[in-house]
Structure 1
Amino acid sequence: MNIRSASLTDLGFVKDIVYETIQTIYSRYYPKGAVNFFLSHHCEANIETDIISQNVFVLEIEAVPIGTVTIKEFEICRLFVLPQYQGKGYGGVLLNFAERVIANKYTKIRLDASLPAKEIYLRRGYKEIESHSILTENGDYLFYDIMEKSIFISNSKINYNGKIFIPKVNSENSEVDEETMFQYHQSSNILWAEYAGGEVIRGHLIGTVSDNGVLDFHYQHMNEKGQIRIGQCRSTPHVLENGKLELHEEWQWLNGDKSVGSSILIER
């Protein structure tokens, strides 16, 4: 799995991802006039302009583009994953990536939420700030919301020792849930933790902490089926308004189906 900046040679791939997703998924939620509006709004010329501005990124699996996201200052735009790859955590990986890029410079993140994605954004802490409707062809209406999430950048170095986290959002292929509790420990730049609850009987992780608080670690646990699962994860901290931490994680199983996923953990 790789996320890279898009070049003009990717224009056709990005357009195909956008159009196939809109035509396949959005037609389940919107009337024809609204779907055609989306297609027009994300036309090839607009995508090309954003690529030239170096705002477009592509998610690849084994060198095959399967998803894309556009980042304009503190706004996340045009986040799409091909329908056949949805439900496998790739959308969350792209969203985590975009949030991490924005959080390096800004204290808030904004996006336009379509009907298929609004519930996902609500679970990730976004709040609706405006609602809009657009009259399209055939008298059809397009409804969407503008949503925002605040990111508070801490000037102090994060120490995870003694902190407890519980999952808030998970990909479908995750084996942790709101009943799983993570107890973190830290000495210098070494991090380790125990976790258990839900489907997990007992688990451990060990890794490192960078100067900006980003965690890189490997984890292993035994689930209720008696299976030992192993994986790797990168976890990026966000400081909330109340001073608590929220960890945005991108992970991959190293055994079993070796699928990727994303999670958000919140400090208790």
Structure 2
Amino acid sequence: MTTNISLDGRTVVAVENDGGEVGSDTRMTFTQDGSRLSATYSGGDVVEGHLVGTLVDGEWDVRYVQLNREGETATGHSVGSVEEGSDGRVRIEDEWEWESKPGGGRSVLEEVRE
């Protein structure tokens, strides 16, 4: 695992997401200052989403809130690992759970280059 990865300015999409609303049409763009991490995201089933948490030694711990196309809000928690591939793109593998409703799952997010 690569340490000291910064997600600042990077954009990712979900390539796998079991049971979640974030999908391949959802673009998540990050801001990072030290270990503090935040992101805004939208697209697909998500009208607007916000994520905040920490990234320390390649491990993230974040909470998120989002609004879907049906006008429903949802909140949740995610923990996972952030790695940088040989091509320099990041890959995030995490386990998440809703806090506002039952359910959870696993997801894989990968960086897209504009």
TM class, shorter-length: over 0.9
2:16/2:109 contact within 8 Å kept: yes
CA offsets 1:172-198 (integer angstroms, 9 cap, x no match): x21011000000001121100000000
In the alignment, structure 1 residue 247 sits paired with structure 2 residue 105: no
Structure 1 stretch 200-209 or stretch 239-248: which is displaced more? 239-248
Q: CA–CA distance in 2 between the matches of 1:235 and 1:165?
A: 15
Give the gaps of 5 or more residues in structure 2. Answer: none
| Residue equivalent to 2:82 | 237
Flag as ranges the 4+ runs of structure 1 deviating above 3 A. Answer: none
CA offsets 1:135-181 (integer angstroms, 9 cap, x no match): xxxxxxxxxxxxxxxxxx43x5111110110110110x210110000
Q: CA–CA distance in 2 between the matches of 1:216 and 1:254?
A: 14
In the alignment, structure 1 residue 206 sits paired with structure 2 residue 49: no
| Residue equivalent to 2:42 | 196
TM norm structure 2: 0.93
| Alignment size in residue pairs | 112
Shift of 1:215: 1.0
Shift of 1:218: 0.4
| Residue equivalent to 1:223 | 68
TM norm structure 1: 0.41
Shift of 1:200: 0.2
For the pair shown, which has the larger CA radius of gyration, 1 or 2?
1
In the alignment, structure 1 residue 168 sits paired with structure 2 residue 15: yes
| Residue equivalent to 1:183 | 29
Shift of 1:231: 0.2
| Structure 1 segment 30-45 matched on structure 2, within 5 A | none
| Residue equivalent to 1:261 | 105
| Structure 1 segment 1-268 matched on structure 2, within 5 A | 153-154=1-2, 157-171=4-18, 173-210=19-56, 212-257=57-102, 259-268=103-112
2:50/2:64 contact within 8 Å kept: yes
Report the RMSD for the aligned CA atoms in angstroms: 1.1
Larger helix percent: 1
Q: CA–CA distance in 1 between the matches of 2:32 and 2:86?
A: 24
Q: CA–CA distance in 2 between the matches of 1:206 and 1:183?
A: 12
The residue type paired with residue 181 of structure 1 is: R
Alignment identity in percent?
A: 29
SS of aligned partner of 2:93: strand
Q: CA–CA distance in 1 between the matches of 2:67 and 2:73?
A: 4
2:75/2:100 contact within 8 Å kept: yes
Q: CA–CA distance in 1 between the matches of 2:53 and 2:33?
A: 11
